[in-house]
Amino acid sequence: MTVKKQKGKTVLITGPTEGIGYELTKLFPKDHFNLVLVARNKIKLEEMANSLKKQFNIKVLVITEDLSKVNSAKSIFDQITKSQMEIDILVNNAGVALYGDFGRTDLNKELKMIQLNIVTLTELVKYFLPNMLQKNRAILLILHLLQLFNQGQKCLSMQLQRLMYYH
């Protein structure tokens, strides 16, 4: 993806504290994008924000939010709206995967995973996409699904093998 230098444009990145999300927080500012960083670790987010502000002279909004919680997407949307920043690119990078025999895995962990990987992701897109489309600037990157798919193939394969043994 080629992105022109965009002074004043803003990228929302979930899961920016490690992996692909972390690398993107270093790439977008090089093209003068402001950032909204969303994760649970407030200290790490603030350290990243301070470093990025100094290095690139950009705006960085830190939002500490657990995306596995109900209504977290609405909270994020409300905080960004209050800040008067407009999202130009939405990077849904946060995500988790659980492994193990489905009959023995923890239901509460699975429900949190569904909330994070499906519900919150969908809500974020629903909240931000209309304004992005209205201004002809809708770019969505849904990275955690790619990461989980690669891990999930192994997990799914193991589950199918186990199911075959049960019958």
pLDDT class of 6 with cuts at 50, 70, 90? low
Residue 4 resides in a domain: no
Identify the domain containing residue 134 by its residue range: 10-166
Residue 145 resides in a domain: yes
In angstroms, the Cα distances linking 157 to 100, 114, 149, 160 are: 11, 20, 12, 5
Q: What angle do CA 7, 134, 131 make, to 5 degrees?
A: 75
Residue 152 resides in a domain: yes
**Which residue has 């909204």 as its token pair?**
36
CB-CB contact of 121 with 142 (8 Å):
yes
In angstroms, the Cα distances linking 143 to 8, 38, 99, 113, 148 are: 24, 15, 19, 15, 9
Total structural domains within the chain: 1
CB-CB contact of 141 with 89 (8 Å):
yes
CATH number at residue 47: 3.40.50.720
Residue 1 resides in a domain: no
Residue 125 resides in a domain: yes
User: What digits encode the pLDDT tens for the residues 26-81?
Assistant: 999 999 999 999 999 999 999 999 999 999 999 999 999 999 999 999 999 999 99
Residue 2 resides in a domain: no
Query: Which position has the higher pLDDT, 138 or 118?
Result: 118
User: What digits encode the pLDDT tens for the residues 87-130?
Assistant: 999 998 888 878 788 889 899 999 999 999 889 999 999 999 99
Whose CA is closest to 41, among 24, 20, 22?
22
